[in-house]
Amino acid sequence: MADECCDVGKIVTAFLLNTSRLPPWPSQRDVEAAAWCAVIAGMHPPHHEEADVIPLTTGSVAEFYIEPMLPHVGDIDVMYHLNTQLAIPRGHPPPTQLPAEFHNYVQVFEIIDSHLPGYVYLPLRYLMSKSSDENDGDGKYKFIMYDDGYYLTLKYVKGSDVHGPAAFKLHDNSEISLLSVDFVSCVRCLTWPLQAADWQTRHTNYGWPDSATLDRVVSNGCDVVRVAHRQCRQHEWMGKHQWRLSFSRAEIVLINSWMPVQQITYHLLRVYVKTERLTETADSSGTATLSNYHIKTLMLWACELKPISWWTENLNLVSICVELLHTVSVWLTDTRCPHYFVDNCNLLDDSYNVGSVASKLMLVDEKYLSTWLMVNYLGQCAQLCPSYVVGYDYLMTSVPG
């Protein structure tokens, strides 16, 4: 029986490796994302008429360099920040020079920890203006301190569809995009945050991420997105003023440094939990459950903690996915999912409705997942590409049981 499972796993693995390709040209999703970035870059938000909006495509569109047969992008994520706002780590002096995208006048907010790791507040600390004195050198800024107790909050667009950190959402079938689009407002931090200082010096046993990738991640800094922790959203003050550190820029760099087999594994895990509806809330109470971010965190840890040989020797994507799904089950059972960048930050807590999901994932074995992938993944691929139908029908007759 074990040999039969291995054979089917090898069939699934060969199919995925042969059909997950490097796109020869930008995909429709890439074009749509670029179009939305151009649209939002031309906007001027209310109360900030002089500010420019600087967009960045994040999420799946930016993370995947492979193009599997089965579509793996459900929506487009665009983060944007104002060129009149900047965040700096607590205790850091304001910079004297800024990238050309920034305005001549910039508000500088200090990143202050809340009582929850990874969640912060942004008090206004400095007002910066670009010097017009030629003796000060080109592009240098002067600053004055500001200490009037003002904390940054986000004024949502009236009537917008707000969920999570997204400031507003446009659904599919719009004039520009066939996919729904999430627009996430953030404040740019050009410096790697103190809350993740240990990440850049953490010892890794297997050389990932390498030094060049690590340097690129750290040099990109981070962002701060407007979303309060679940425990604080109903609080009158914290619900309005709490922000979360975002490592989307770091994740894009790291995930694009993965081997193809790692990207394919990430894709398969996302397809499985989505198809099985493991990322949906079980009832209308708003109880949290498994999310795509937990799967992304799982993969980041696996790429760091597993040797290259675990991914490449006797390659079987089914067995890899089974082991990783069991890891998620343990996390859910223990209500412990360690944040990849921030120490002492747990991405799970007692508010998560995960008991049934944990049990289901622990029961997944190679026989079940092999058959599941044949029916649900390869079957959908056969529908998308008729040339695979004959081969698919033949493979299905070979599946044990």
Q: How far apart are the first and last CA of the chain?
A: 10
Percent of the chain with pLDDT over 90: 58
Q: pLDDT by residue (tens digit) across 213-234? A: 999 999 999 999 999 998 898 9
d(CA 153, CA 188): 14
- pLDDT-derived band at 23, boundaries 50, 70, 90: confident
Domain carrying residue 241: 23-257
Structurally, how many domains does the chain consist of? 1
Q: Which residue has the higher pLDDT, 82 or 165?
A: 82
pLDDT score at 180: 83
Q: Is residue 252 part of a domain?
A: yes
DSSP 278: T
Q: Is residue 274 part of a domain?
A: no
Q: Is residue 50 part of a domain?
A: yes
Q: Is residue 306 part of a domain?
A: no
Query: Do residues 213 and 254 touch, judged by C-beta distance below 8 A?
Result: yes
Q: pLDDT by residue (tens digit) across 183-221? A: 999 999 999 999 999 999 999 999 999 999 999 999 999
Q: Is residue 320 part of a domain?
A: no
Q: Is residue 225 part of a domain?
A: yes
- Three-state DSSP state, 346: strand
- Three-state DSSP state, 2: helix
pLDDT, averaged across the chain: 85
Q: Is residue 220 part of a domain?
A: yes
Q: Is residue 200 part of a domain?
A: yes
DSSP 375: I
